[in-house]
Amino acid sequence: MLDAILHFFHSLYNPDGLKELIRSGGAPLICAIVFVETGFFVGFFLPGDSLLVTAGVFAALPNGIPLKWLLLPVMFCAIVGDQIGYWIGRSAGAALYRREDSLFFRRSHLQRAHDFYEKYGGRAVILARFVPIVRTFCPPVAGAAKMSYLSYLAFDICGGMLWVGAMILGGYSLGRSVPNIGERIHYVIAVVIVVSVLPVVISVYRPRRKLGRAGDAGSVPTPHSKGE
C-alpha cells in the first residue's frame, strides 16, 4: 500500500509517470486531483497546472481524452473544491491562523494567501487560481475574512472556468499545432512549472528586496552640522 502511494506521488512529478497516470486514470483521476488541490490543505503540493496542460496536450492526440470529458467536469470539480475551502475558513475563522504547522499545513502558506487576498481583494479569488499554493489557501482565507458568499461564488466560478480553460485548451492547442508534442512533453511541463512558480518567487523576493533597501537607507550616516 505504501509503495503504491509513493509510486503515485512520484508519478505526479515525473513527466513519463504523469503521462501514464493521465492515460490510465483518465478524466476521473484528473477531476479528483483538482478537487483535492483546491478543496483541502493536503492538496497544496499537487501539480494542478502541469497536470491540466499535459491532459490538454494528450486530448489533442489520437485516442486521447475527449475535451467534453475534461473541460466541464474539471471546471465543476475546481469550483466545488474551492467551496469546501471557503466554508472551512468561514467556520474555523481566526483559529486557522493559530493552527500549528503539520505535514499538510503551513501557516506561512496561509499567510502568503492572506497577503495576496489583502492586496487584490475579490480579484484574488480569480488570480489565485494561477498561483500554486496560493490557489489552495486563498479560499479558506476568503472564508475567514467573511467575504460575501455570493460575491465569492461569482469570482470563483469565473476563476475556475478561466484557469481550467486556459490550462487545458492551451495544452490542447499545443497538441494540435506542434508535431510529435507528446515526445517533447518534458519541455512543456518544465516551462509550465517555471511559469507557474514565478509569481511565488517574485512575491517572496520583492519584500526581501524592499527590506534590504530600507536597511541600507537606515544605515546611511547623517551628515554632521558645521558647528560640530
173-221, pLDDT tens digit by residue?
Answer: 888 887 776 666 667 777 776 666 665 555 555 555 554 555 555 554 5
Judge contact between 68 and 83, C-beta under 8 A: no
Mean pLDDT of the chain: 79
Q: Tens digit of pLDDT for each residue in 147-161?
A: 899 999 999 999 999
Judge contact between 210 and 217, C-beta under 8 A: no
- What are the φ and ψ backbone dihedral angles of 65, each rounded to 5 degrees? -70, 125
- The pLDDT value recorded for residue 227 is 45
pLDDT at 63 over 70: yes
* Residue in 57, 20, 90 with CA at minimum distance from that of residue 184: 57
**What is the distance of C-alpha 225 from the center of its chain?**
55
pTM: 0.78
